[in-house]
Structures are given as C-alpha cells and as structure tokens.
A = this chain, B = another copy of it.
Amino acid sequence: MTTKVDPWADIQGKVDYDKLIKEFGTEKLDKHLIERLESDAKKKGMTLHHLIRRGIFFSHRDLKWILAEYDKGNKFFLYTGRGSSGEVHLGHIVPWMVTKWLQDVYGVELWFQITDDEKFLFKPELTLEESNRLAHENALDVLAVGFDPKRTKVFIDTEFAGTMYPIAIRIAKKLNFTTAKAVFGFTNEHNVGAIFYTTMQSVPCVLPSVIAGRNIPCLIPYAIDQDAHFRVTRDILPKLGYYKPAALHCRFLPPLTGPGKMSTTGSAKDSTIFMSDDPKTVRKKVMKYAFSGGKDTVEEHRKHGGDTTVDMAFQWLTYFEPDDEKLLDIKRRYEAGDLLSGELKQILVDTIVPILLEHQKRRGEARKAIGDCLIKDNKWNG
C-alpha cells in the first residue's frame, strides 16, 4: 500500500521519505549543506540542531540558493504555519523547533500564519468561531516555542484577509482548476472556498516583499505533507515577479502507537501527547500506548535485547533527546537487554516532561507578548 502524503490526508503506515524526494521533486539535504548550517550555527556559539543532524529534516528546495543570497547580504525571512483545528501536540512543534533555531542562527524575521479559514473550509463539522478560537489559543503555543517576539509576526487568516486577499487573487488568476485538481486531488464535490484556499497559503511567501516593495527571499520549514501548496506557489510566483520560496522539509513525528503521522481525530487522540498535558498524563499515555520493541518476557528481553528500529519510545527520543552520546548509550543498553521497555519509556517521559513544562510556562507568559506579535487588519465596523 502506498501511503498518500498530502495536506489533508490521514497519513497512516510507514512513509517512504526517499520516495517522496523523487515524487515531489525535492533535493536531499546533503552533507555539504548540513556542514554549512553547522558552520553558521557555530558563528553564533550554537551547535547544529539534532533534528537536522539526525536526518529528521531530510529534504529541501533551493536552500543552497537562499544561503548564497544571505551571503550576499540579501537576508531571507522564515515563514511557517499552523492549521487551527485542535490543540497543539508534540508533533506540531517539531518543525517549529528548527524554525526557532534558524531564526536564532540567522537573526531573521518569522512570519507565522494560522489558517483558521482552511480548517473551517476542510472540516465539515468545524465552525468558523471554533476554528478562530483555536487559532488564538494556538498562537500562544507558537510563541511558547521561544521565537524572538521582536522578530516574529503571527497572523490569523480571517483577521488578516484585508491584507491577504488582494495578493491571493493575483496568485489565483494563475491557477486553474485543472492544476488544482491534479495537485490536491480535488473533486467536483469540494467547496469553492477549499478550492481557492491554497492561494491564501501562498500569500505569506510574498507578503513581506509586497510590503517592503522589494523582493525578499523566503525560507519555509515544514512537514513534507504541506509540499503540494508550495509546489504550486513555486510555479506561480516567478510569473508575478517574485522569487520561488525555498523550503526545508521534515518527517512527521510518528504516533506513539506506531508509524504514520500523529492525528487528533477519533481514538488516535488518546495516545497523542498535547503540549498542555501534565506529567502524570504523559506518563500514563507513554506507558499505555508507546509501541514497544522489547521482547515478550523479561527473560527473553535480557537475553536478546530490544529492537530500537520499531520501538516508539526510542524513536521519539531521536526527536526530543538532543544529546547524541546519551541517545547512543540508551540504544546500546536497550539493544543489549540491560534496559527494559518500561525503563526506556520512563526515560522518554523524563525527557519530554521538562519540554512540556517549559512550554507551559512560556505559554503563560505568551499571553502578554502576543499583543506585540499578532498583526491584523482593522476591519470596518459601522
């Protein structure tokens, strides 16, 4: 079975990332580029982000070009986003962690889009009121990741449409239904707002350029499922006189229960770790749901050791334990049978709980900072 990877698919099963590079026509993030990123980090007294080092960020478009522009003094801006259909979970913050790292390394602006319109248009049961309420809640989670508030602009589509719509229709004029259908798999049953929506997701790629009145390069870190939008964007923007946006792609954080993409619909919600979960809840979820690569009995496990390639607690540690030495040590001990599954799960709990607590603390503080970061139109009001 081929796993379908597009912006609205419920992704299940193992994803073949090398195949996606070919299918989507992206480039592998190679040794030279990684070294370049590492050297830039060093200049700021930082180290290479472990999500890049470990290949969780695995693919890109035009990253080499955007760094060459940076060297020439043509600084880029970062753009990423969030669809507001529910609470933010650990899977969502994976691309944001590296986005923050890039902001710190390159000292650049971040434009962060929250697409309350998209989620309303694509989720039959979701009201716009609820999608917008979630957008404001999610905005706090964005800031809690630790972005520099002075260099970060957050905007919610339905509150920024006065600025966005005139740009969106310029993009829309270059995109016919045949192409939209081919790229996104639309049928004639899709609503006309959903069909139009992708142009709203293209807008932030050029918005800073439109405002500044000059062409500014754009780098978008995102999970690979969003790539369809930006393939379209990259086709159209040069026709309007703008740069193609560069991209940096990451894998999904697989669900605790096994391969695929984390989801918050149906029963999958039970095993999802939300940024608001308390330590007790985290422990309960990890212990109950994390798919184990351990053996059936303690005796067998001690003798043969566990399988880290399928063990989700270990897989998650590759996302959230930045220390390579420590991770390698855990791997060795688990594969040797020294570490039991329950002990490995406890290590995961001990690793992510501080991340969540720190997030929750910063999220509380974000209520003050959000006023400076959230940009919106002033609608006419009678």
Give chain A's interface residues, CB within 8 Å of chain B: 117, 120-121, 128, 155, 158-166, 168-170, 172-178, 180-181, 186-196, 198-199, 211, 375-382
Instruction: Point out the residues of chain B lying under 8 angstroms from A164, CB to CB.
Output: 161
Which of B163, B169, B188, B379 contacts A178, CB < 8 Å? B188
* Of A120, A174, A188, A211, most B-chain CB atoms within 10 Å: A188
Given contacts A165-B165, A173-B120, A189-B178, contact A379 B380 (CB under 8 A): no
Instruction: Report the minimal beta-carbon distance from A120 to chain B, rounded to whole angstroms.
Output: 6
Instruction: Point out the residues of chain B lying under 8 angstroms from A198, CB to CB.
Output: 192
CB <8 Å contact, B169 and A195: no
Instruction: Point out the residues of chain B lying under 8 angstroms from A382, CB to CB.
Output: 211
CB <8 Å contact, A191 and B163: no
* Of A155, A190, A377, most B-chain CB atoms within 10 Å: A377
CB <8 Å contact, A180 and B192: yes
The 3 closest A-B pairs by CB, nearest first: A162-B162, A172-B193, A161-B165
Instruction: Point out the residues of chain B lying under 8 angstroms from A160, CB to CB.
Output: 162, 380
CB <8 Å contact, A170 and B377: no
Instruction: Report the minimal beta-carbon distance from A229 to chain B, rounded to whole angstroms.
Output: 13
Instruction: Point out the residues of chain B lying under 8 angstroms from A158, CB to CB.
Output: 165-166, 169
Given contacts A169-B120, A377-B380, A382-B211, contact A176 B188 (CB under 8 A): yes
Which of B195, B211, B376 contacts A195, CB < 8 Å? B195
One complex includes copies of this chain to the number of 2
Instruction: Report the minimal beta-carbon distance from A231 to chain B, rounded to whole angstroms.
Output: 15
CB <8 Å contact, B177 and A195: yes
**Contact sample, A vs B, 17 pairs, CB 8 Å cutoff:** A121-B173, A128-B170, A155-B380, A158-B165, A160-B380, A161-B164, A162-B380, A163-B379, A163-B380, A172-B193, A175-B193, A177-B187, A177-B188, A177-B195, A178-B189, A192-B198, A378-B380
Given contacts A162-B377, A377-B377, A377-B379, contact A177 B173 (CB under 8 A): no
CB <8 Å contact, A162 and B379: yes
State in angstroms the CA–CA spacing of A165 and B158 once bound together. Answer: 7
CB <8 Å contact, B196 and A193: yes
State in angstroms the CA–CA spacing of A190 and B188 once bound together. Answer: 13
Instruction: Report the minimal beta-carbon distance from A361 to chain B, rounded to whole angstroms.
Output: 30
Instruction: Report the minimal beta-carbon distance from A258 to chain B, rounded to whole angstroms.
Output: 34
Instruction: Point out the residues of chain B lying under 8 angstroms from A380, CB to CB.
Output: 155, 160, 162-163, 375-378
Instruction: Point out the residues of chain B lying under 8 angstroms from A181, CB to CB.
Output: 188
Instruction: Point out the residues of chain B lying under 8 angstroms from A159, CB to CB.
Output: 162
State in angstroms the CA–CA spacing of A181 and B181 once bound together. Answer: 14
In the complex, residue of chain B having the shortest beta-carbon distance to the beta carbon of A162: B162
In the complex, residue of chain B having the shortest beta-carbon distance to the beta carbon of A170: B128
Q: Apart from A120-B173, A172-B193, A177-B189, list 17 A-B contacts with CB within 8 A.
A: A121-B173, A158-B165, A160-B162, A161-B164, A161-B166, A162-B162, A162-B165, A163-B379, A163-B380, A172-B194, A172-B196, A176-B189, A177-B195, A178-B189, A193-B199, A377-B377, A377-B380
Instruction: Report the minimal beta-carbon distance from A169 to chain B, rounded to whole angstroms.
Output: 5
In the complex, residue of chain B having the shortest beta-carbon distance to the beta carbon of A186: B177
State in angstroms the CA–CA spacing of A107 and B164 once bound together. Answer: 36
Which of B162, B180, B187, B189 contacts A161, CB < 8 Å? B162
Instruction: Point out the residues of chain B lying under 8 angstroms from A117, CB to CB.
Output: 165-166, 169
Which of B166, B170, B174, B191 contacts A172, CB < 8 Å? B191
CB <8 Å contact, B173 and A191: yes
